[in-house]
Amino acid sequence: MAFQILLNFFLAFIWMFLKTSYTPVTFLVGYFFGLLVIFTFRRFFHTRFYGYKIVAVIRLFLIFNRELFLSNLAVLKVILKPKLDIKPGIFALPTELKEDWEITILANLITLTPGTLVIDISPDNSILYVHAMDIDDIQEAIDGIKNSFEKAIMEVSR
């Protein structure tokens, strides 16, 4: 991915030299044409076309923001309810992610999800221990959310 971006910069500079005009606008035009060229020749690279990856990163960021708002609403409801009828507990959550940074992002996302907080990660990086505020009604919902998160993170790292 980094190689493709570097190549795109080179193409933009070549465009600037061809035009003999060294302004940011010329650079952007050259960058755009370089993007088209790299997209056309995408089958010669080992990795995917890097535009897909940027879209995946933006989607992950939007998911992050949405979950932050939803989790705040959920915590607000629990705190302001007159009767305290929560059932907290710790459950184990197996994960398929391998790299350290992927697991960090997954743990951060889970912490910002409604009613869950990561307490520990097993030494071989395969299980996350999650403290949930309301364990019985949340178990299936968590699995669904976790699948969507894990899928979004894999989309970025693939």
Residue 94 Cβ, how far from other proteins at the closest point, in Å?
A: 11
Residue 146 Cβ, how far from other proteins at the closest point, in Å?
A: 15
Of the pair 12, 132, the CB lying nearest other proteins is at 132
Of the pair 107, 141, the CB lying nearest other proteins is at 107
Q: Bridge partners of 140?
A: none
d(CA 84, CA 88): 11
d(CA 94, CA 33): 44
d(CA 87, CA 89): 7
The CA angle 57-12-28, to the nearest 5 degrees, is 65
Decide: residue 153, CB within 10 A, 0-12 exposed, 13-18 middle, 19+ buried: buried
Of the pair 14, 92, the CB lying nearest other proteins is at 92
Residue 102 Cβ, how far from other proteins at the closest point, in Å?
A: 15
Could you say which DSSP state residue 59 is in?
H
Interface contacts to other proteins, rule CB under 8 A: 68-69, 71-72, 75-76, 78-80, 84, 86-92, 107-108, 111-112, 115, 117-120, 122, 127, 129, 131, 133, 135-136
Residue 38 Cβ, how far from other proteins at the closest point, in Å?
A: 29
Of the pair 16, 130, the CB lying nearest other proteins is at 130
